[in-house]
């Protein structure tokens, strides 16, 4: 599952990750043939599968990086086996990662439950952080907000465990970015959502230079805020677009942006009627985004206002309908947009997280931008078609797919342990 909001959606074709599903298929054969009668050998058979996949990834990296090979052979074997596969910026030590996760999850000991989507997701995450730590070049770690750093719709409180890990990343010399779909053009809203992190930063024994390595990219790629500390008080200040936004985005026609958002808004209003959404449902228009969100209703039994939720199926229908229409709309084709399901609402943003990560790579190091193989983005929305805005971050760097703030903490513990181990070698 990609997050707790998507348990049943892994059964839908548009929600499946082709690479993970392909690996599941490879592992199903040794599971069916050997898991009951030869359980002692299951680990070795699974290990061989991951060893072969690891080899295919290495071959793809070689082919993709060598134009002469690309011209001669066309595409790698992995591209032929999984036509929708993307770019691998680093090798992945999948064999070692499997053995580590098998020790934790007892995958090869199971006789009735085959290796799952979650098993493979964790193995891929482990392989990625091990490789990044061992390469010794990791420079930028970015995070989604909701369901990654904090619960959906919540804020980052001072006692949240993830904050200590973020501070350790800053102390280790990393640049840390929060790349969120929350599209506020003022610092106050981000300071409210991240107040716990700011209060802990004020008390942290970190030099000011380290604290300045914390940024927030809002609206996926539209608003950049950098951390500052003055007179013992930490906050965020907006960075002018001229400092970080690419020339390509500056050249986007404002009329095309407005037309894209106008059409999305018209469609959201039409879908609100067509799908008979609750009367309290609101449509919100921002500078570079438009969304449909659940409203509030007074509950006489509880004696207070409660949120009126939207069905998951409804959210999916809205996302796929709006996205499909915009993809064939000329003004939207001249800019970049992202339609996604936030778990309880639907938004259409101008831009995308691939741009947000790329902007941070250049902002932190203008002369020599941070490379994709030096970056890691952690998020919960990586489903490949529609409604998953972290998916585009795969175009800009390495990624880790988590499903809760607790998984983020565990992932960072593993990453920090790997970094420390490499430091002590």
Question: Residue ranges for the binding site for Mg(2+)?
Answer: 144, 146, 380
Q: How far is CA 123 from the centre of its chain?
A: 17
Active-site annotation holds for 144 = yes
The single residue of 119, 146, 349, 390 carrying the catalytic annotation is: 146
Residue among 142, 211, 219, 148 nearest 178 (CA): 142
Q: Are the beta carbons of 260 and 267 closer than 8 angstroms?
A: no
Residues linked to residue 285 through DSSP beta bridges, in sequence order = 290
Two tokens at 328? 């064939």
In the annotated binding site, the residues are 104, 122, 144, 146, 152, 180, 345, 353, 380
The single residue of 17, 40, 119, 144 carrying the catalytic annotation is: 144
Active-site annotation holds for 146 = yes
Q: What are phi and psi of 379, to 5 degrees?
A: -160, 175
**H or E stretch at 244:** helix 241-244
The residue written with tokens 């991951």 in the block is 50
Instruction: Give the separation between CA 102 and CA 93, rounded to whole angstroms.
Output: 14
Instruction: Give the separation between CA 342 and CA 379, rounded to whole angstroms.
Output: 12
Q: Are the beta carbons of 381 and 340 closer than 8 angstroms?
A: yes
In the annotated binding site for IMP, the residues are 144, 146, 152, 180, 345, 353
First and final C-alpha spacing in the chain:
36
What are the E-state strand segments in 207-310? 214-218, 223-230, 233-238, 282-285, 289-293, 296-299, 304-307
Report the catalytic residues. Answer: 144, 146
């Amino acid at each position: 599952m990609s997050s707790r909001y998507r348990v049943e959606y892994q059964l839908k074709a548009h929600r499946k990750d082709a690479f993970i599903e392909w690996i599941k298929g490879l592992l199903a054969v040794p599971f069916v043939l050997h898991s009951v009668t030869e359980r002692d050998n299951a680990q070795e058979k699974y290990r061989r599968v991951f060893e072969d996949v690891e080899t295919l990834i290495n071959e793809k990296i070689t082919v993709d990086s060598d134009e002469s090979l690309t011209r001669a052979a066309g595409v790698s074997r992995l591209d032929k086996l999984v036509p929708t596969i993307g770019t691998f910026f680093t090798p992945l030590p999948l064999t070692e990662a499997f053995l580590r996760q098998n020790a934790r999850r007892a995958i090869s000991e199971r006789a009735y439950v085959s290796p799952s989507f979650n098993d493979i997701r964790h193995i891929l995450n482990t392989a990625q952080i091990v490789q990044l730590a061992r390469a010794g070049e990791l420079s930028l770690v970015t995070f989604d907000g909701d369901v990654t750093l904090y619960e959906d719709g919540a804020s980052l409180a001072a006692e949240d465990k993830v904050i200590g890990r973020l501070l350790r990343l800053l102390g280790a010399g990393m640049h840390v970015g929060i790349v969120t779909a929350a599209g506020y053009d003022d610092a106050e809203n981000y300071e409210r959502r991240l107040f716990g992190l700011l209060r802990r930063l004020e008390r942290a024994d970190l030099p000011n230079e380290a604290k300045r390595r914390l940024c927030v990219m809002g609206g996926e790629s539209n608003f950049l805020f950098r951390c500052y500390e003055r007179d013992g008080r930490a906050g965020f200040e907006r960075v002018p677009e001229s400092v970080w936004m690419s020339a390509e985005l500056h050249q986007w026609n404002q009329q095309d942006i407005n037309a894209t958002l106008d059409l999305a808004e018209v469609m959201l209003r039409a879908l609100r009627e067509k799908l008979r959404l609750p009367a309290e449902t609101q449509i919100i228009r921002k500078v570079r985004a438009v969304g449909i969100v659940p409203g509030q209703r007074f509950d006489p039994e509880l004696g207070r206002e409660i949120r009126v939720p939207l069905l998951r199926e409804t959210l999916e229908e809205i996302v796929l309908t709006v996205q499909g229409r915009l993809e064939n709309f000329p003004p939207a084709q001249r800019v970049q947009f992202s339609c996604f399901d936030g778990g309880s609402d639907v938004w259409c943003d101008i831009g995308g997280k691939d741009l947000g990560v790329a902007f941070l790579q250049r902002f932190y190091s203008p002369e020599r931008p941070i490379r994709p193989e030096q970056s890691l983005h952690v998020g919960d929305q990586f489903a490949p078609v529609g409604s998953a805005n972290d998916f585009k971050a795969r175009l800009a760097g390495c990624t880790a797919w988590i499903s809760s703030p607790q998984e983020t903490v565990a992932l960072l513990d593993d990453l920090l342990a790997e970094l420390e181990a490499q430091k002590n070698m």
